Structure 1
């Protein structure tokens, strides 16, 4: 696995200082997930400052009572996953990450995640930028639902994301676009 891929993922947020780069290089962890594997995304799973090295994943919200699911966001190579602590809607909902392809994730531990801003104050801004990118992604998904006709909604998504839409199963695309109720 290339260190540059993980560290390069920070470039879209303005990069990171050399010292922080060296620190993260030393503490990073690699996690491998098989195709179609799922993990519950919670503070118990140590995926902090986690970026997809290779593969494709989806963030799925499951309503506990009905077991209905909805795709909220997709993550491709170089994308960061949301922080586990930011995904708590109470006991009625559960978040999971589904790996659509064999996926490698690079992350750091919760201990280091909490310690980084003490050593590198600019890290707080980085954390905010990553969180804002997730909000933007989810707003983009909501905007698709405002397109009145489902065929147009799907065509628009596929036009804006031609490569991603070819890699995603149709059912996940439809769930993301709120065009069907998944179970």
Structure 2
């Protein structure tokens, strides 16, 4: 005789391992661990309004977070290596992070972009061309030129493109300094970048 749906459900429920009760603080930590791991993998986790509940129990959340991070071991190691390289070259960049399965490089200043461009093989003479800092149009043109040299050097050295690249001229109204958004790159591009920063282009 085939088992009914009710019998199957009862058998499944009885076969589940019994988990110990977690304290509210432990449950909250478990949900946050799952949410952070899923965010790194590009998955949106739905939590309650209080942020202390999700659609899986706390033990499963901890397990799932561990499984996801295990799958992200290589990207996270790449970020660790890249962070070390940026520090070794004294590049004033934000620490890279993993978002949506890609490496987020963030924004950089024009001087840092110039330094990175040279490290990637751009001509120092072209990158470090003198600029009249009192002339807004000259500064703007210099920032754009550095950005163009950086994106070209990155493409030549790594074989990949900075697809999220944006140039932001300084803005008097919002008091924002001139900056270049490098955005996100794939893990393979980040690994190539690590090798270049370690051994040269």
TM range (shorter): under 0.3
The structure whose RCO (Cα within 8 Å, separation 6+) is larger is: 1
Higher share of residues assigned strand: 1
Q: Normalized against structure 1, the TM-score is what?
A: 0.26
Bigger radius of gyration among the two:
2
Higher share of residues assigned helix: 2
